Amino acid sequence: MKRFFLLPALVLLFLSLPACKTSETAWETAVYTDCFDTVLEIRYLAGNVQEADRLHAYLLELHQLFDIYNRYPDTVNLAMINACAGGDALEMDARICEMLSFCVRCEEESDGAVNPMMGSVLRLWKTALRDGVLPDADTLQQAREHTAIDSLVIDREKNTVRITDPLASVDVGAIAKGYAGQMAVEYAKAQLPAILFFNLGGNVCTVRPKPDGQNYRIAIQNPRGEGSLTEVSVKAGQCVVSSGDYQRYRIIDGVRYHHIIDPATGMPTTGKCAVSVIGADSGVADFLSTALLILPDDRAETLLSRYPDVWVLLVDADGTVVTKGEQAAAQP
């Protein structure tokens, strides 16, 4: 276990919380670095680090189940599904089947903008961003031919998963972290009474009210500069999830290329540079933050109409900020 007792400065979203002055309301923070390839920060009522450790262990288990790159002893995970593409169905942990079913629903609701079968394409862009060399156009087109959502076959009754196309692969990077975060919120609410909130690589999930009873104040990062763009007031039980082209990108021949890929083109998205979503479900917020980056405005409006209870902040490529929903912005 990798655990530290400090507040990291590198989170994409950070919380403004005043220091506590009494033992009844004091809290502590534990930080872990082995979940979902990012930093996990857990804040809890003082003297209850064992609850933070239990929440970390729960998220680490989900990380190993949803990992598309690595295998683990005695665990059938997404990496094994990809390795067995074109072969027989594999019996899975029910949580994998549930998460993949949610991904399929997201693909349908977004008209294919968020597609869990984009693994062949995303693998090319991961290499491109690492090496600073754009994917070959023909190779990219060939990869796009192996992204059909119907090549993913899920049997919820038998808890089996199969990829029918041997050249296709699952990539749930747009959804898995948020989905796992929501599972962790529900676990903490049921079994960990000292957990206040956690921040999983910029996905901020509040579990219980602050000891002083006030709302959380969360700063949203400026995607094109230092510091925060704004602060928002968030109630206990809500989450904040952000996506943008500023998180993982590389300048190649003077052009910014990033990791959020539009399935319709096979290229990084353009038009918007950041989206933040506040809502009651971290998985839904993660999905929406990516879908709204990719979809054109008219289709984004159609998708948002299905989720009237979320608040959204969008930053266009020219820096224009647009908000939608009823969430009140907190003044700095």
- The full set of domain ranges for the chain reads 72-163
What are the pLDDT digits (tens) for 186-221?
Answer: 999 999 999 999 999 989 999 999 988 899 999 998
Q: Which two tokens stand for residue 285?
A: 């917020």
What confidence tens digit (pLDDT) does each residue in 126-159 have?
999 999 999 999 999 999 999 999 999 999 999 9
Question: Considering the chain, what percentage of its residues have pLDDT values greater than 90?
Answer: 79
**pLDDT tens per residue, the chain (332 residues)?**
544 433 323 233 444 444 344 444 689 999 999 999 999 999 999 999 999 999 999 999 999 999 999 999 999 999 999 999 999 999 999 999 999 999 999 999 999 999 999 999 999 999 999 999 999 999 999 999 999 999 999 999 999 999 999 999 999 999 999 999 999 999 999 999 999 999 999 899 999 999 888 999 999 988 887 788 889 999 999 999 999 888 788 999 888 899 999 999 999 999 899 999 999 999 999 999 999 999 999 999 999 999 999 999 999 988 899 999 875 444 33
The values of phi and psi at residue 263, to 5°, are -60, -25
**pTM of this structure:** 0.91
CA distance linking residue 284 with residue 213, whole number of Å: 26
**What number does CATH give the domain 72-163?**
1.10.3980.10
Task: Pull the structure tokens for residue 231.
Answer: 């602060």
257 C-beta neighbours (distance < 10 Å), count: 20
One-letter amino acid for residue 145 of the chain: E
Q: 329 with 299: CB under 8 angstroms?
A: no
User: What count of other Cβ atoms lies within 10 Å of the Cβ of residue 10?
Assistant: 9
Which pair of tokens denotes residue 92? 């899975």
